[in-house]
Amino acid sequence: MESVAHSIGLSAVMTWTLLKVLIVFGSVMGVSSLWTWVERRGSAMLQDRIGPNRALLFGRWQLLGLPQLVADGLKFFFKEDQVPPHVTKRLYWIAPMLAFVPALIGFAVIPFGRSFSYQGALYHLSILEPGNGMGMLYPLAIGAVAVYGILVAAWSSNNKWAILGGMRASAQMVSYEISMGLAVLAIFMKVGGYDPGEIITEQAGVLWKVLPNWFIFRQPLGFLVFFVCMFAETNRLPFDFAEGESEIVAGFHTEFGSMKFALLALAEYAHMTTASALIATVYFGGWSVPFMPEAPVLLTILFFLIKLLFFMWVFVWVRWTLPRFRYDQLMFLGWKVLLPISMVNLIGNAWWMTRGGH
């Protein structure tokens, strides 16, 4: 590492940071765009139809419809990029960026593998290194900023469907943020800090001799709340009110076309990636390998990837399992069911800790 860093004229710390940024940015972008394909193909599988299969690589290889990904990307670039006269121009141009950037940087704090030492130096596999005092507060804060992207896109469109969709999405996201915060508070209490690394080490070991010591088994109620909130925060079905096709056309991105729409759509998938990573880190032991406390670094990365991709698949799975809620049902669930549950979870766990439970 030192010699490589020296040869390109940068310090070792800087090279390592740049490498990590490259890995995280590339993986989140790659997984997000791959998931547009998995979503279409998976939906087809669940609905007993074929799905995208017409795009061929070099006019020959079908590859399970994977070339569709490339075809879609090209098509987005070459579609007419019109700016309707009734929109607010400046905000209309900024909105896709405002949605895309927070979606991508939320991943920075999540460790995607075990920290390792090499030639006397310790390397951490997360962009935001542990011990910064920020920890899990960072993705929560970035997740809250994501509301602006949708709201600005909606407002700048100056279209009834768009503004309704944006209003719904923002009200929904802020409602579920409270229950999510309370659910994560119970985790912070048990861990004694915000750091994701500490959260993962806290989950090492074995519970009742048969289960890995994950928080899903120790706080199932909190997991339930957090899991449901993640669906609401990412605007995925069954809480797909920002773009309820049957009611408000395409919601907040009704007036967007070409690459502007592509960025908005990609942002949703990037949010899914971050949400899955959060679920895996907080409740499923992150990169830790069950029953293998001294797993090699590459195996931990592999396990993190498996957990991440599994939860991303759950997002697609749930989409075709549950029908869309009504908006009043969403508010009922958020304020009258999940919020009391998360309060009970927090106080119950605090009480359990005074009794000496772990």
Footprint of other proteins on residues 158-187 (CB under 8 A)?
158-164, 167-168, 170-171, 174-175, 177-178, 181-182, 185-186
Least distance (Å) from other proteins to the CB of residue 93?
Answer: 7
Query: From CA 163, how far away is CA 304, in angstroms rounded?
Result: 38
Which is closer to other proteins, CB of 56 or CB of 189?
189
Site for other proteins in 47-106 (CB under 8 A): 76-86, 93, 96-97, 100-101, 104-105
CA distance 48 to 44: 6
Contacts of 120 (CB under 8 A, 6+ apart): none
Task: In whole angstroms, give the CA distance from residue 34 to residue 78.
Answer: 20
Least distance between other proteins and beta carbon 200 (Å): 16
List C-alpha distances in Å: 239 to 172, 177, 184, 233, 327.
8, 14, 21, 9, 9
Nearer to other proteins, 176 or 303 (CB): 176
Q: Angle, nearest 10°, between helix axes 12-46 and 89-105? A: 100
Based on the shown chain and the rule CB under 8 A, indicate whether residue 294 belongs to the binding site for other proteins: no
Query: Which CB atom, from 306 or from 350, has the smaller least distance to other proteins?
Result: 350
Site for other proteins in 104-123 (CB under 8 A): 104-105, 108, 121-123
Please say which residue, 236 or 260, places its beta carbon nearer to other proteins: 260
DSSP per-residue codes, 296-320: -HHHHHHHHHHHHHHHHHHHHHHHT
- Cα–Cα distance measured from residue 127 to residue 196, given in angstroms and rounded to the nearest whole number: 12
Closer to other proteins by Cβ: residue 98 or 280: 98
Site string for other proteins, 302-341 (x = CB under 8 A): -------------------------xx--xx--xx--x--
Contact residue for other proteins among 128, 232, 242, 277 (CB under 8 A) = 128
Among 15, 33, 254, 345, binds other proteins (CB under 8 A): 254
Distance CA 202, CA 194 (A): 12
Torsion of CA 72, 76, 77, 78, to 10 degrees: 100
Binding mask 15-54 for other proteins (x = CB under 8 A): -xxx-xx--xx-----------------------------
User: Which of residues 72 and 303 has its CB atom nearest to other proteins in the complex?
Assistant: 72
Q: At what angle do helices 89-105 and 137-157 cross, to 10 degrees?
A: 160
Which residue in 258, 301, 320, 348 binds other proteins (CB under 8 A)? 258
CB of 320 to other proteins, least distance (A): 26
Number of neighbouring beta carbons within 10 Å of residue 80: 6
* CA–CA gap between residue 47 and residue 25 (Å, rounded): 33
Residue 189 · residue 351 · CB < 8 Å: no
Query: How many residues line the site for other proteins (CB under 8 A)?
Result: 89
Looking at the Cβ atoms of 76 and 223, the one nearer to other proteins is 76
Stretch that binds other proteins, among 32-40, 42-50, 128-136, 214-222 (CB under 8 A): 128-136
Q: Which of residues 184-213 bind other proteins (CB under 8 A)?
A: 185-186, 188-194
| Pick from 186, 119, 229: nearest CA to 353 | 186
